[in-house]
Structure 1
Amino acid sequence: MTAFTVRWDPHAIRVGDRPPHPERTMLVEARGALLYWDALDLRPHPAAEVFDARAAGEWLWEVYGPETAADVLDGAASVATEWDSPVLAAARNLALLHWAGAWWPASHAAAVPALPADLLRAETAWYTAGLDHLLDDEAAVERALADVDLTALTGRTDHETAALAADLADLADAFGVELRSAAMRREDWALAAGGAEPGLAVASGSAPIDWSLVPARALDAAGEATWRFENRSGAWMLAVTAPAAPGAVPTALTAVVGAVEVPLHYDPDTNTFGGEAPAPPEFAMRLGGGRPIEVRSPGYVADGPDRASSDPDRAERRAALVAFARERLASPAATLTERSAA
């Protein structure tokens, strides 16, 4: 049984509460409502914010059951449901896959493998099609199918993936979408990672990576970024290295140490992001007992007001999501994408 409080305000009917942090939020944007699952909450039913009761009323019963949906829309102060349906299961899986695309904590250090991107896109497209009647984006299926790489799928030999590829090919025909037939080569994404021989290190340090500041499949979610302030032939330089995630996708990253910004580039040979930038000589005088380092992706805003690296709960939050990912890999309810990664 899943129970929720229901609150009405001038803008929405709020069923339960949205998850407390973005990295725990699994979301489906439906017609007239947003559905939220908390990745660390095992309950099958989502919290919701209903903005258009008339539009949401056409499908809300498929998620909560007819009686509970009617109670929500009729102004009940609380509701409870044991409803189960294929639509509810598909919606939760779609929310999970969207979450995985943005937040999956792939890490060499924590032994969490990367998810196969081709299967992630394919399964997302499949579940999107199954929920086409309740999604807010009328072109959601076409958009999802446009991301599917048929060559990458047919290159796999397991029966489940072969069946999914065949189903998606039929689905693409029905929606008039031409699936991509050539996988993007790694070389198309490769970026040069420059660097010179290290000089005389005056100071160095490291700090855990704040994975909420970078897109998924960039940095190792459980790794540490390191920095060296050094004198190289009379020039003062700040060099930074950060471990990449398993199956990393080259991404524009910037490391910030104090007031110095260091652009980072992906090196596929070492599977790291690295870079260096000039730093003023007085930089060393302000180091004190240590210097925090933050690695972020310019223009990427994924967290809220509590995103500061001084947040005392951030390490615990990261550990909880890493544990969740490990559990998903071994779960009987794992998606094909997760089972393939495991």
Structure 2
Amino acid sequence: MPVPVRVSAGDDGTVLITPAAAADPPGPDFTHADPRGPDFTYAVLDVAGAVLAWPVLGGPVPPTAYVHDAGRAQQWLWALYGERVALAVHERALGRTAADRTALADVAARLGLGHWAARWWPASYTDGIPALEPDVLGVELAALTHRCQQLFDDGGDQPDDRAAELIEDHRAALAPLIQWWHATAHHPAHTARHLETVLTLVDAAADGAGLEGPALRHLRTALGERHPAGVPAGPGPPVDLGALFARHDGYALAAGAPTATGGRVIARGAGANDWRRYPHGYVDAAEDAVSWTARALGARRRIEVEVVAHRAAPAATGTLLVADVRVHGGHRGRVPLTRRDDLWAGYADVDLDAEPPTGPGPAGVEVGVLLPGFDPGAASAHAADDRAARDAVRALARQRLATAAQSFPYDAAQSFLYDAPQSFPYGEAPHTAVSTPFLAETAAAATAADEDY
């Protein structure tokens, strides 16, 4: 069943394809509105001649497309949206039309979600949301990228077309994945099928890119020895996924000395944890990961800031976060933070005795955390709906992990990754390509049980 979409023209000459609301007029006379909501609620893919965006919250919908080169985009428009939308873009027939749900649409949406997870997954020790193993996720992203090659061309301007680079960066996961595949005689058949397909696509992508090395030779040998039905030759013993993908970096809440000692505590509070202000993997994603304490030391006033670190946060002294501190809406000051065990911590003297504003401006202490040079700017932070959006993303992560813990028994839905995918009308599939867990989510769900989450 087709779903209505709108084809419109942007102010900069782009062609926009957006899911249409029921109240949209049938003609071209409407005002286009960009997707609303924080950017961490959208999965994005940079493809030939366009950028695609899907909301990660809510039901499946066609992607919004920002087409900046309609000629290049024609190679995939028909396969992603169907012939009606491709023709409308080609002829610039602005207005309402209908998009089909296609096999490429399902796989592309999953690839976009995988990139979203690599950037925005809300890993938090304190919230009980385990991190995704980056090598396992990277290998599956390489497989999906290879599967979505129709979306890309040789223009060199599509950062998401990097299957070979993903394989090179994450080949350490190949041996554990092969071991997992060999053990799938002890798991449901769809688990073996999922693993086999990912490994086969990675092998094809590596062969096409001319990649070599011991890990890839081991992969080709393992795939070459499988039986015609895809069952590995000489299936191995059961594996403990928690042990197979366990992280050995160690992580526990620090119980060391406070950032500064002495003085009288005059105030405490929690700061803002805006995920957009630092790279993924630096800070625990919990809402209360940022805390501060104000002390009086004689006539001086000191603010101490502590931020719970992500388990993968860099410990190098050259990589420093800072705390963004503002008192009573006045000048913003920055407090350098250094990594100490599981914390980023720092302190600085501030003027806490300033008079609070008498007007509508903010009163009190505001503290956030950012990486200089990465931060999009304080003006984009602290939107009123950001807390609700972050909570919704956490709920999504927990839901996906719960599904992964059940070994995702949805054979029909898994067809997105296989040679003859089934397509469902938008909103009617009980389990879609997007809702099916990634291998990294399955491994994380198993590992979390062994790591006291």
Q: Percent identity?
A: 28
Q: Aligned pair in 2 of structure 1 residues 27, 59: CA closer, same or farther (>3 Å)?
A: same
Q: Aligned pair in 2 of structure 1 residues 170, 82: CA closer, same or farther (>3 Å)?
A: closer
5 Å-filtered alignment, 1:262-273, equals 262-268=335-341, 271-273=342-344
Alignment partners' CA distance in 2, 1:118 and 1:102:
14
Deviation of the 1:178 alpha carbon: 4.8
Deviation of the 1:101 alpha carbon: 1.5
Alignment partners' CA distance in 2, 1:304 and 1:55:
37
User: What letter matches 2:344 in structure 1?
Assistant: F
Deviation digits for residues 188-241 of structure 1 (CA, Å, limit 9, x no counterpart):
xxxxx9975522233332224122212222222223211123356987543211
1:327 is the counterpart of 2:399 = yes
Alignment partners' CA distance in 1, 2:213 and 2:399:
33
Matched residue SS, 1:155: helix
Q: What is the aligned partner in structure 2 of residue 11 from structure 1?
A: 13
1:229 is the counterpart of 2:250 = no
Matched residue SS, 1:34: strand
Alignment partners' CA distance in 2, 1:169 and 1:59:
24
Deviation of the 1:146 alpha carbon: 2.9
1:112 is the counterpart of 2:129 = yes
5 Å-filtered alignment, 1:20-35, equals 20=36, 21-35=38-52
Q: Which has the larger radius of gyration?
A: 2
Deviation of the 1:144 alpha carbon: 2.6
Q: Which moved more, 1:96-105 or 1:37-46?
A: 37-46
5 Å-filtered alignment, 1:3-82, equals 3-9=4-10, 11-16=13-18, 18-20=34-36, 21-74=38-91, 75-82=93-100
Q: Aligned pair in 2 of structure 1 residues 73, 263: CA closer, same or farther (>3 Å)?
A: same
Q: Aligned pair in 2 of structure 1 residues 330, 167: CA closer, same or farther (>3 Å)?
A: same
Q: What is the aligned partner in structure 2 of residue 143 from structure 1?
A: 165
5 Å-filtered alignment, 1:177-216, equals 177-178=211-212, 197-200=260-263, 201-216=265-280
Alignment partners' CA distance in 1, 2:212 and 2:322:
37
Deviation of the 1:118 alpha carbon: 1.0
Deviation digits for residues 265-317 of structure 1 (CA, Å, limit 9, x no counterpart):
2334xx2222223x14xx12138563110111111145795x232x3222112
Q: TM-score, normalised by structure 1?
A: 0.82
Alignment partners' CA distance in 1, 2:71 and 2:284:
44
1:252 is the counterpart of 2:320 = yes
Q: What is the aligned partner in structure 2 of residue 243 from structure 1?
A: 308
Alignment partners' CA distance in 2, 1:303 and 1:260:
14
User: What letter matches 1:151 in structure 2?
Assistant: A
- Determine if contact 2:42/2:54 at 8 Å carries over to the other structure: yes
- Determine if contact 1:18/1:36 at 8 Å carries over to the other structure: no
Q: Which moved more, 1:218-227 or 1:168-177?
A: 168-177
Alignment partners' CA distance in 2, 1:287 and 1:214:
31
- Determine if contact 1:194/1:275 at 8 Å carries over to the other structure: no
Q: What is the aligned partner in structure 2 of residue 190 from structure 1?
A: none
| Structure showing the higher strand proportion among its residues | 1
Q: Aligned pair in 2 of structure 1 residues 59, 213: CA closer, same or farther (>3 Å)?
A: same
User: What letter matches 1:58 in structure 2?
Assistant: Q
| Structure 1, unpaired ranges of 5+ | 188-192
Q: What is the aligned partner in structure 1 of residue 451 from structure 2?
A: none
Q: How many residues align?
A: 326
Matched residue SS, 1:334: coil
Matched residue SS, 2:139: helix
User: What letter matches 2:151 in structure 1?
Assistant: L
Alignment partners' CA distance in 2, 1:155 and 1:144:
16
User: What letter matches 2:5 in structure 1?
Assistant: F
Matched residue SS, 1:265: strand
Q: TM-score, normalised by structure 2?
A: 0.64
- Determine if contact 1:19/1:37 at 8 Å carries over to the other structure: no
- Determine if contact 1:14/1:50 at 8 Å carries over to the other structure: yes
Deviation of the 1:151 alpha carbon: 2.6
